[in-house]
Amino acid sequence: QVQLVQSGAEVKKPGASVKVSCRASGYTFTNYYIHWVRQAPGQGLEWMGIIYPSGGTTSYAQKFQGRVTMTRDTSTSTVFMDLSSLRSEDTAVYYCVRAAYGDYSDYWGQGTLVTVSS
């Protein structure tokens, strides 16, 4: 069965960086896109960007340009989301989400809580 398993919770200080991983299984890793979506406490869902594992191409939301980097390791079917210059407003649950080209999301990771606090 399709699974997206994310890394564990993180606590970071303002100005630091965080790297969240998402390991995929149960399907051909290079055939689907992975989006990253975050959710601040008590808030809605916010799209951050996308990576195509086949070629590694990425596209980021303008809000995160310059601060976010998405990469992948095809040998382990894992994608990574690196967010730098963290501030308190980045405290959120970060989800990796699978989607076919041009399509909605069908599978979500369990989420990774990132807390930014001094």
Partner 1 sequence: EIVMTQSPATLSVSPGERATLSCRASQSISSNLAWYQQKPGQAPRLLIYGASTRATGIPARFSGSGSGTEFTLTISSLQSEDFAVYYCQQYNNWPLWTFGQGTKVEIK
Binding site for partner 1 (CB under 8 A): 33, 35, 37, 44-47, 50, 59, 61, 95, 99, 101-106, 108-111
Q: How far is the CB of 66 from partner 1 (least distance, A)?
A: 17
Contact 113, 8 (CB under 8 A): no
Q: How far is the CB of 106 from partner 1 (least distance, A)?
A: 6
Cβ nearer to partner 1, comparing 17 with 63: 63
Cβ nearer to partner 1, comparing 104 with 118: 104
- Phi and psi at 100, nearest 5°, equal -75, 165
Q: Provide the CB-side half-sphere exposure for 115 (13 A, CA).
A: 6
Q: How far is the CB of 118 from partner 1 (least distance, A)?
A: 26
Kindly state the tokens that stand for 86. Answer: 């963290």
**Cα–chain-centroid distance for residue 107?**
13
Cβ nearer to partner 1, comparing 5 with 16: 5
Q: How far is the CB of 117 from partner 1 (least distance, A)?
A: 20
- Phi and psi at 3, nearest 5°, equal -140, 140
Q: Mapping DSSP to helix (H, G, I), strand (E, B) and coil, where does residue 64 land? A: helix
